[in-house]
Structure 1
Amino acid sequence: MDSSTKISGNCVNALPAPPPPRRLLDQLSDRIRLKHYSLRTEQAYCGWVRRFILFHNKRHPREMGAHEVEAFLTHLAVAGRVSASTQNQAKSALLFLYKEVLVTELPWLDDVESAKASKRLPVVLTPEEVQRLLVLIEGTAGLILRLLYGTGMRIMECLRLRVKDVDFARGEILVREGKGFKDRVTMLPNTLTAPLKSHLARVKALHDEDLAAGYGEVYLPWALARKYPNAAREWAWQYVFVAARRSVDPRSGAVRRHHVEAQSIQRAMRNALHQAAISKPATPHTLRHSFATCLLESGYDIRTVQELLGHADVATTMIYTHVLHRGGRGVRSPLDALA
C-alpha cells in the first residue's frame, strides 16, 4: 500500500502529501539571506546561476563540475567580453552555490582561476571642477553629492543613513555597516548643517503624513523589527534621503518608503558633468576619491584619511598619493625648481 495512506478501521485516510522540494534558485536566495547578504548580491548571484544553468542547456549544477564552470567563465571573457571584476563576480556566485547550497566539497572549487583585474588609478576631480559640478545640481541630489564630497562616504552608505546616525551637536556622521560590515565615524561639513536640517524637516513632515495614512514603517536590518516592534515607525530609524513614493519590499511584500535610488543620483551627476563640460568619466564615487586626494594635498596624515574612508589596509589609501595634483606622485619637477 502507498505510504501516503493510513488505514483506520474501515476507512482509508490520506495523509498530507509532503511539500514539493524548493527550487534551486529559491534555496540559493534562502542561503544568501541567512548569510545576511544584501538584496543586490542576491539578485546578482541568482542571475549568474540562472545564466550558468541556461548556458549548459538546463543541466542541474550537481551534475556539473570544474570543466563546466571554467567553460562558462571562459565564454563570459571571450564571447561576452566582460571585465575581470564581472567575471570574478560570476565565479563567486557559482562557488557560493556549490559550497553553501549544494554543500559540495570538491578540490576543484578553489582551483578555478580568477581573472586578473587591471590596476587602474582612480579618476579625481580638482576642487575647481567639483565646484563647477555641484553648482549645477540642486535639491536632494545636490545635497547627497555634496555629502559624498564633504565626507568621503560611498553612495550607498550615504543613501542608507538613518536620522539617528546624524549628530549635529558633535558635527559627526556615523556610517553603519560600511564595506566589510564595519562602522566608522566621519565629519559633518559645517556648510551642510543648515541645508541638512531643512531637508530633515521636510522628511519629518512626509513621515507624519505616512503615519496618518496608516503607513510610516521603514525597513529594519536583521531581527530588529522583532526585537523592537515599534522601532520601524519611529522617526530616529527613518532614512535621511527617502524616496518620493512608497514601494513594495521585494522580500517581505510590505509597503514602505525606501531610500532614494542610486541611479537617480548617478543620472543627475552625469547630466551635470555634460553641462559643466567636464570630460572626465566621473561618477558619484569619484567624489570619494576627490575627498581623499584633497585631504592629502592639504597635509593631513594618511592614517587619518584611511580611518575616515574606512580602509582596512593603509595600502588601499596609498593609491591616492599617485594622483595628487602636484605632478606625478606629487613630486615637484626639477625644471620648475630652476624657474
Structure 2
Amino acid sequence: MNALPLPSAIKPPSSGHVPVMLDEVLHYLAPTRGEAILDCTFGGGSYSCAILNTAECNVWAIDRDPDAIARGQVLCAEMEKVEGRSRLHMLAGSFGHMAELAEQAHAPRFDGIVMDLGVSSFQIDEAERGFSFRFDGPLDMRMAKQGRSAADIINTAPEAELADIFHFYGEERHARRVARAVVAARAETPLHTTLQLAEVIRSVVPQDRSGIDSATRSFQGLRIAVNDELGEIERGLEQALTLLNDGGRLVVVSFHSLEDRLVKRAMQRALGKDVSFSRHDPRASLAPAAPAAFVGLTSKAIRPSDAECRANPRARSARLRAMMKRPSPSASLTKGLSA
C-alpha cells in the first residue's frame, strides 16, 4: 500500500531516517478518511507522516523523548499553515500511559494504533544520548532525558543486579562474567562513557561468530533496564486493547525476541488462544466460549522483504504482528484482512 500524496502532504523532519516495514504497517493499519489513529512512538515522525499522507485522518502521536515532541510540534505548525488546522496532535509521555495521555488530550477512541518498539534511530545516531558504542558519548541511554541513567546503574548496582540485567534483558550468555568485569573496572575508576563500558565488555566476551560486536547484547540489556522498556510494552499493549473502536486495528513492530514474545502473548490472549485443554480434559467438552473480542490479521509474525533488509540493515530483525477488534455485526470484517 503506497502513501497517496494529499495536497497538504507533510514530510518527516529528516530524510536520513528510514522507517521499517512502512508499507506493511500502512497495509494492516489501513487508515481512511475521518479516522483517529494513535502512533505510540513518534520518533522521527515517519509513520505519522505516512498515515497523514495516506488518508485525511487525524493522528495522535506519543513520545517520551522531548526532542521527538519538538520535531512533532514543527510538523504541526507546518500543517496548520497549509490546512488551517493540524491533523497531528502530539502527546508528551510514555506509551505505557497512553490511556491517561489520550484522556488528558480529550482524544476520541481510536480506529488504529501502531507501536514501533525499541530505540529510535535518532537516539542511536546522536552520540550525546549514549545509546550506541559506535560513538564515544556519555553513558546515558534515557529516552525521556530524566531518571536513572545507564552510568548510574553501571556504577552503583550490585554485581548480581548487573548480571540479571545483562542476562534477562540482553540475553548475554556471559552475563556473570560481564558483571564481574564491570564491578572490577569501576573500582578502579567510574565508567562514564560508552566506549569505556564497551571496552570492559569486549575484554571478557569473545567475538560472536555472527560478527555482532561483543558489547551489543549487554548494551541492549542496559538500555532496556534504564527505560523499563518491557514494562512499558506490557502496560501499553494492555491499554491499547481498551482504546480501540470496533473494527480498530493494532499493528506492532518489534525488533528482538523479548519484545516479540510479549506482543505474541498479548495478542494470543486477546484472540482467545492462551488457554487450551487436552482432549481428555473434561473442560474440553464444555460448550465453546463466545467469540474472542479480537480477530487476527497476521497468522504469524511478518518479516521485512529481502529488498528492504538490503536497503536498510536495521530492518533485518523486525517482526510485525497485527489484529483487529471484532467489528460490530453491521460492519465489514474485510478491512485489513486482504493479503
Q: Is TM-score (shorter-chain normalized) higher than 0.5?
A: no
TM-score after normalising by structure 1: 0.23
TM-score after normalising by structure 2: 0.23
More helix by share: 1
More strand by share: 2
